[in-house]
Amino acid sequence: MKSQEDLKKDDQLILIAEDSPTQAEQLIHLLEKNNYKVVAAKNGKEALALIQKHKPTLVISDIIMPEMSGFELCREIKANEISMDIPVILLTSLTQSNDVLESISCGADNFITKPYDEEYLLLHVEQILANSKMYKGERVSVDVEIMFGGKKCFITGSQQQMLSLLISTYEAAVQKNFQLIASQEEIKRINKQLEERVAERTTELSTEIEIRKKSVIKLKEKSDQIEAQNKELIFQNEEKEERAAELIIANKEQIFQSKEKDKRAAELIIADKELVYQNKEKDKRTEELISAYKKLNFQNEEKDKRAAELIISNKEQAHQNEEKDKQAEDANREINEYLQNILNYTNAPIIVWNTEYKIIRFNRAFESLTGRLEIDVIGKSLETLFPPALRNSSMDIIRKTLKGERMEVVEINIIHIDGSVRTLLWNSINNMSPDGKTPIATIAQGYDITDRMRALEEVSKLNETLEQKVIERTTQLETANKELEAFSYSVSHDLRAPLRHISGFVDLLIKNNSSQLNETGLRYLNIISESSTEMSNLIDALLTFSRLSRSELLKTKINSGKLVTRIIETFRDEISSRNVEINITELPDAMGDESLINQVWINLISNALKYTQKKDKAVIDIGGKIDNDKTIFYIKDNGVGFDMKYADKLFGVFQRLHKAKDFEGIGIGLANVKRIITRHGGTCWAESELDKGATFFFSKPNN
């Protein structure tokens, strides 16, 4: 069974813009696994088309894509009024600080580098969606001028957008630092192991070389001894040969002894040859030992050379590590400089504190708000910022942030160095360790609402005063309406009686004494009779006009088509006696007082028939349409029309743009139309050209 939070995620649609199918599929799988609805686009143009069809809750886009980059896609989204409130997260392998600046310029809400940690990405998706609900409709763009790369840069973005990008960039830098530190520790460990192995091998080789040197010396000494013995034997053999010759000369007579001696001499010769052979074998063995010694020396020299190469390689690796560390330090310094510029030059007060509630960042907007310099508050407790009477309650709210709670639009009072108190609307977010579980600092931004709170108090007081004035004015209007009703009754009664007398006596004179009057007298009596009738009609029209503003509206759903058709039937006799063409398009239904709207259509249709009576063929078009939150109706004719410079007089009481002898009427019909439509919350207007007809419009709100 899904949790309440999972059910909320089902209502949130995330659009992914990624040209790499593999990365897009990986991101889709991650988000759908966490119960988000996901759609994907291969490029920026395709993503814009999907946004027009189904507005997503969040857009996650790669930056480098064909046809339209992520920066361009973000600008298009933020430039459209329909989609400008959609938060955008940019994913990229780019790491230059220019990319962060470009992200702010195009309106991005977050910036995450590849490769990303899945838990880190999901955490930021949740935070962005939560912030988009919190600040919906409250984005206020601010202009910030910062120093970047030795040049001044001017960027525009919302405070929440800059804060989100500031946090994401800061977290990325922290995560990168942790990775670099881990890499450095691993390299140091490997170098240490390598140095230990080289030292051990060097010691072994040195020992082996010393042993072999001693063996070679011993062999050399042994060879010298053998060579000395051989020389001694050769010398002895020579002495023996000389002695044998002397014995042969001395003992020629003794043949037997001589033969025996010869035999003995032959044996000695054989032994001598054997000894010579043995000496040659010893020389050969000595040469083999010398060759082995040379080979051993060569191997030792190769090992020494390899050890030297390993030492050189180790030094080069250490140098490369030092270069990488230097590049990382330069990148961190550049990022820190960029973050410091944003902190210092944004208009929103921003403050950062650590887990001991000590202040570690304090931007210029906060300096202006409190009258304190950053150098004076760094390392001090947050308590110094709160009024003494509110310190405990304020710190209770602050302490909750390190327990996982966020300050989401919390009102907190800050004390100025001069003793005055300012009210801030605060929100905060924790900066987590790389594992995403342990908070290491909290960053918060505030919005000074002191003036707004004072204004609200003043508005509240004004509302109380206004309510009293409304009550008094209502009483006055009720009294005036009662007096107007009494006056209307008086007009109706007191003026009608004399008019009836005038009209009655004129009729009697014409009937009984017409023979005694000449033609001029009769004409005068007819003028008096017509004038009294016209006066009576004027009084009736005024009373009707007056009642229109006082009668209660009885609003119902009106079938406009049936109403207009029924009214046209009342003019059937006049229409049948003339060449009149009436075209009625489909009319939308509307809410209103049906009796009053009926009077509107009677007046407009009557006017259209009246002002087309001099045309051979009268053409009248009636139609209507629904336009957003209102319904507009019109009636168009091809009659005499009017000059548009007099259009402002058209809907006034007793205002006529044509002579009475040309077109009958008393000039109150359109005034009644305006009064009725105004009471319904609508407006009416007309468009025309002389001798080219006129079109009358009126609109009513749909609610």
Domain ranges of the chain: 4-139, 180-343, 358-448, 454-546, 553-701
Q: Which helix (H) or strand (E) holds 111?
A: strand 110-113
Lowest-confidence region among 205-209, 507-511, 544-548: 544-548
Q: What is the pLDDT of residue 645?
A: 78
pLDDT above 80 for 255 = no
- What is d(CA 427, CA 447) in angstroms, rounded to the nearest whole number? 9
Q: What is the pLDDT of residue 546?
A: 56
Give the tokens for residue 542. 């005024």
Q: Which range is most confident: 225-229, 268-272, 315-319, 417-421?
A: 417-421
Q: Which helix (H) or strand (E) holds 524?
A: helix 519-548
Give, as one character, the DSSP assignment of residue 415. E
pLDDT above 60 for 401 = yes
Lowest-confidence region among 244-248, 416-420, 686-690: 244-248
The answer to whether the beta carbons of residues 541 and 526 sit under 8 Å apart is no
| Residue 661: band (very low, low, confident or very high) from pLDDT cuts 50, 70, 90 | low
Residue-wise pLDDT tens digits, 26-52: 889 888 999 899 999 998 889 898 988
pLDDT above 80 for 553 = no
Q: What is the pLDDT of residue 454?
A: 84
Between 248 and 541, the more confident residue is 248
Mean pLDDT of the chain, nearest integer: 77
Give the tokens for residue 21. 């199918």
Residue-wise pLDDT tens digits, 409-438: 788 888 888 888 888 887 888 878 777 778
Q: Backbone phi, then psi, for 627, in 5-degree steps?
A: -120, 100
Residue-wise pLDDT tens digits, 587-626: 999 888 888 888 889 889 988 888 888 888 899 999 999 8
pLDDT above 70 for 205 = yes
pLDDT above 50 for 4 = no
pLDDT above 50 for 62 = yes
Q: What is the pLDDT of residue 534?
A: 59
Between 335 and 199, the more confident residue is 199
pLDDT above 50 for 308 = yes
pLDDT above 90 for 294 = no
Residue 623 bridge partners (DSSP): 634
pLDDT above 60 for 658 = no
Q: Which residue has the tokens 């990325």?
A: 172
- Burial bucket for residue 509 (CB in 10 Å: 0-12, 13-18, 19+): middle
Backbone conformation region of residue 43, classed left if phi is above 0, alpha if psi is from -120 to 50, else beta: beta
Q: What is the pLDDT of residue 699?
A: 92
Between 291 and 32, the more confident residue is 32
Q: What is the pLDDT of residue 156?
A: 58
Which CATH superfamily includes the segment(s) 358-448? PAS domain (3.30.450.20)
Q: What is the pLDDT of residue 7?
A: 44
- The closest alpha carbon to 126, from 24, 39, 5, belongs to 5
User: Cα–Cα distances in Å, from 441 out to 182, 353, 402, 609?
Assistant: 21, 6, 8, 80
pTM listed for this prediction? 0.34
For the chain, the C-alpha Rg in angstroms (whole number) is 55
The answer to whether the beta carbons of residues 109 and 166 sit under 8 Å apart is no
Q: Which helix (H) or strand (E) holds 425?
A: strand 421-432
Lowest-confidence region among 163-167, 236-240, 554-558: 163-167
Residue 699 bridge partners (DSSP): 632, 683
| Residue 16: band (very low, low, confident or very high) from pLDDT cuts 50, 70, 90 | very high
CATH classification code of 4-139: 3.40.50.2300
Taking domain 553-701, whether its CATH number is 3.40.50.150 is answered by no
